[in-house]
Structure 1
Amino acid sequence: MPNPQEDPMLKYQIMTTPAGPLTIVVGPTSAVRAAGFTTDVGELVSLIHPRLRGEAVPADDVGPVTYQVRSYFDGDLTALDEVEVEQLTEGAFMSHAWRVMREIKPGSPVTYTQFAELAGRPAAVRAAAAACARNPVALFTPCHRVLRLDGSLGGYRWGLPVKRQLLDHEA
């Protein structure tokens, strides 16, 4: 993983999408370090683990990620599977849960309970929910695909209308 002290420069792009403005922050290798349905770059940078943070500067595009996002919203629901992400956390379960979350397929949302089971800790429903809540790479690590036990939307950092639009797009 790159050392931010070697090249602390992050690039970001704000894209217009059917779900609203999507800001994507990438590191020197073009791996996504933060993403969210906001235009507040500072908010996104604050979600990045301190070892991966740096100064964020605007870019016309953020490499292949730009193409993959356009492909996703044009109907290729697996386009984001190829996007590399860089997520760090202090907890082993959180890191594992984020990797597992990336395996939840479009159109096949799971409940928090099912997500905890997929992550190998069936009793850790609250920890699974925390992994969703602390996810800095929305859309690419698809926390929007995790629902309440009754199938309702639950929470979403970027708003329930965005979560609903993403799930409807993937249905």
Structure 2
Amino acid sequence: MLKHHTIDTPAGPLTIVVGDTGGVRAAGFTAEVDELLPLIHPRLREDARPDADIGPVTGHVRSYFEGDRGALDRVVVEQRIDGEFIAHAWRVMREIKPGSPVTYSEFAQLSGRPAAIRAAAAACARNPVALFTPCHRVLRLDGSLGGYRWGLPVKRWLLDYEAA
């Protein structure tokens, strides 16, 4: 059984869905868990119940928003997708450091396929664990924000916060 909890953050409500082992399976800047459950791979998807105790992830999120920009690196994520490139790109995305955003082109290159810019963008768009796998740190070639499932104001806030 999955557990979920919504945490109030300066960027807005962040709902987190965790599995039995405490790994984050979905997260997003919404108070509606129903927006997150479809993002979880069918093999990892289960019924979800609200529970304020989602393990140490809550403390890591609070530490992040209190100034420890590396706190989210200590959070285990459980992402799965059918497709080797996107799964690899998600692992690479977790290595993009706060305050050091990259372009989609740079992200494609870091992921080992410099010409796969659209696939790199798809990895961002299909990311089920926003914030923990930081797709908000990937920008358009001209430095503009591009898209973000949870809204451009949230993406802008996160980037500004991490740059400070």
How does the TM-score come out when normalised to structure 1?
A: 0.95
Gaps of 5+ in 2: none
Instruction: Name which of 148, 153, 157 aligns with 1:161.
Output: 153
Deviations 1:100-150 (A, max 9, x none): 000000000000000000000000000000000000000000000000000
Q: Does 1:100 align with 2:55?
A: no
Look up the equivalent residue of 2:94 and give its one-letter code: R
Distance 1:167 1:36 in 2: 16
How does the TM-score come out when normalised to structure 2?
A: 0.99
Question: After the TM superposition, which parts of structure 1 deviate over 6 Å for at least 4 consecutive aligned residues?
Answer: none
Deviation at 1:61, TM superposition (A): 2.7
Q: How many residues align?
A: 163
Instruction: Name which of 3, 6, 27 aligns with 1:14.
Output: 6
Gaps of 5+ in 1: 1-8
Distance 1:61 1:168 in 2: 30
Q: Does 1:84 align with 2:76?
A: yes
Distance 1:41 1:56 in 2: 9
Distance 1:119 1:105 in 2: 15
Identity percentage over the alignment?
Answer: 76
Distance 2:149 2:138 in 1: 13
Distance 2:58 2:85 in 1: 30
3-state SS, counterpart of residue 8 of structure 2: strand
Look up the equivalent residue of 2:84 and give its one-letter code: A
Distance 1:60 1:101 in 2: 28
